[in-house]
Chain A
Amino acid sequence: AQKVTQAQTEISVVEKEDVTLDCVYETRDTTYYLFWYKQPPSGELVFLIRRNSFDEQNEISGRYSWNFQKSTSSFNFTITASQVVDSAVYFCALSPRDSGAGSYQLTFGKGTKLSVIP
């Protein structure tokens, strides 16, 4: 069984502060993918990143960075110099990588609601 835990339900920060969103996962698969999605108030889930379980290198994209640590089963997401437009619910998700005829369905955490205050 797969499980994703996002312990932070809600976070509020003042604009320009850095913020880290935590994600811990459980899986019996030896190969898997990890994802982050953003869900703004409009409701559409926006893909941010996919990480292969083989690749533990941290990744940076503009103000976003991701820290994948297989030893602690964590895949944390940091926003640097937060902006009001970053306000949204952020979801961490997990899927099998090699699923044969399987579906590669995503298992989501409950999400972290981020509010960036001007």
Chain B
Amino acid sequence: DTGVSQDPRHKITKRGQNVTFRCDPISEHNRLYWYRQTLGQGPEFLTYFQNEAQLEKSRLLSDRFSAERPKGSFSTLEIQRTEQGDSAMYLCASSLADVNIQYFGAGTRLSVL
């Protein structure tokens, strides 16, 4: 039984560099979500896909952030020109459209030096 998979688990980068994270949802799940979690806080919603369509984006998702889900399966989240404030855990979740239970991956922890 394969859960939500995220890669890499950890990423250390220098300020100004671009980074890309990948999320592989549970295979039959058509909804995919990205959240960001900073230390001592709950996860905050970033964006949502139904199949390949990106249907909602949070105000937290600045112009430097872009997400794709090209074939309605895996998704990527790219951060351009990273800033120290981008340091956080980036979590991916997936669900079935008619069963609103989101299952989360282990996350990608980003550290921007």
Binding site for B on A (CB under 8 A): 4, 33, 35, 37, 42-47, 50, 91, 93, 95, 97, 101-111
Chain B interface, number of residues (Cβ within 8 angstroms): 26
Interface residues of B (CB under 8 A from A): 31, 33, 35, 40-45, 48, 55-56, 58, 89, 91, 93, 95, 100-107, 109
Q: Kindly list chain B residues whose C-beta atoms are within 8 Å of the C-beta of A4.
A: 42
- A8: min CB distance to chain B, Å: 13
Q: Which residue of A44, A47, A104, A110 contacts B106 across the interface (Cβ within 8 Å)?
A: A44
For residue B101, which residues in chain A have a CB less than 8 angstroms away from its CB?
A: 35, 47, 50
On whether the beta carbons of A47 and B89 are closer than 8 Å, the reply is no
Residues A105 and B56 in contact in the complex (CB < 8 Å), given A33-B100, A45-B43, A50-B101 = yes
A106 touches B45 (CB 8 A): yes
CA distance A4 to B44 in the complex (A): 12
